[in-house]
Amino acid sequence: MSVTDRCNLRCSYCLPEGSQVWLPKAEIATLEELASLVRVMTLVGTTKVRITGGEPLLRRDLPTLVQALAEIPAIQDLAMTTNAIPLPDLAGDLRSAGLGRLTISIDTLQAARYKTNTRRDSHGKLLAGIRSAEEAGFTPLKLNTVVVRGTNEDELAALLRFARERGHQARFIEYMDVGGALNWDPALVVPRSEILHRLESECGPIKALAPGDNSPANLFTLSDGTVFGIIASVTAPFCGACDRARLTADGKLFTCLYAADGLDLLGPLRAGAAEEDLATMVDGRWRSRDDHGGQDRLEVSERGPSAQVPDLLAKPHLGMHTKGG
């Protein structure tokens, strides 16, 4: 669930400067409405919720929402993905409110690179955010790295060591051609095979672990027991096993990260629809879903970005920052 489409960074692979129209404020669901939509999702079987964005920590009074979600009996796993910059002010409150797990994005250990990629000089704040998450008890963290050739593929072993030294789990994500990835090019994707090869040459032998639940990450281990994940969304899309539904901050339901149109739930909710009626709508959409964006993209010859600036301006929901990564 994306709780806001706003972000404090401008990562070139997600939300490059000038590529976005923000969702109108009046169309953003209130915290009560978001909690109601999550209850609707639980009526059709949802047990896990990941809060994301945009940058979810920019949403005012987020701990209040976390507490409301933590109180929904059907929710067994409540997690959040964040860039961690505002975290020092919020980590303790989020923990007390009932947030279970945190995933933090860290694409580089180098402040200058971070600034180039995100257009913000905030690497020190990211590290402070990681420390605050540790102090608040969110350990182990998952540390997400989007691997983009020419920007950070030389840091994979260093990022893995950084995670290991702190007892966290590194997860390397192939660079996807989704939403605002306007400079995407197949040559910039560092495939899972190369990620493994690079890590093996610096960290020693790697073994694949047996697949677990429906997590998109393939898990691997070093000989010292360090476990890490790779999300090969580009070279090995997992559409067939995908069980994720996405709710946007304006209350639309999407059944694929690549989809342009979602099912509006906020309109009917504001018009007075009961949660049970909304659940029937969600059930219908879920059962009839036939999108497999990652696999469809494999068929595209001369593959480039999946959207251009005019598409993103006309259809804000195409953006990863709107749909929630």
Q: Which is nearer to ligand SAM, 83 or 122 (CB)?
A: 83
Q: How far is CA 209 from CA 38, 212, 247, 282, in A?
A: 32, 8, 31, 34
| Closest distance to ligand SAM from the beta carbon of 313 (Å) | 18
CA distance 301 to 169: 35
Q: Which amino acid is at 225?
A: G
Backbone angles phi, psi at 248, to 5 degrees: -95, 170
Backbone angles phi, psi at 211, to 5 degrees: -60, 140
> Cβ–Cβ contacts within 10 Å for residue 287, how many?
8
Angle at 134 between CA 215 and CA 323, to 5 degrees: 40
> Cβ–Cβ contacts within 10 Å for residue 268, how many?
15
Q: Which is nearer to ligand SAM, 10 or 198 (CB)?
A: 10
DSSP 319: S
Encoded tokens for 219: 């898990």
The mark string for 65-84 relative to ligand SAM (x by CB under 6 A, - otherwise) is ----------------xxx-
Residues 100-129 that bind ligand SAM (CB under 6 A): 105
The correct pick among 1, 3, 12, 13 for binding ligand SAM (CB under 6 A) is 13
Residues 124-143 that bind ligand SAM (CB under 6 A): none
The correct pick among 28, 163, 173, 278 for binding ligand SAM (CB under 6 A) is 173
The correct pick among 4, 19, 46, 52 for binding ligand SAM (CB under 6 A) is 52
| Closest distance to ligand SAM from the beta carbon of 268 (Å) | 27
34 binding ligand SAM? (CB under 6 A): no
| Closest distance to ligand SAM from the beta carbon of 38 (Å) | 18
Instruction: Point out which residues bind ligand SAM (CB under 6 A).
Output: 7, 13-14, 52-53, 55, 81-83, 105, 144, 146, 173, 175-176, 178, 181, 320-321, 325
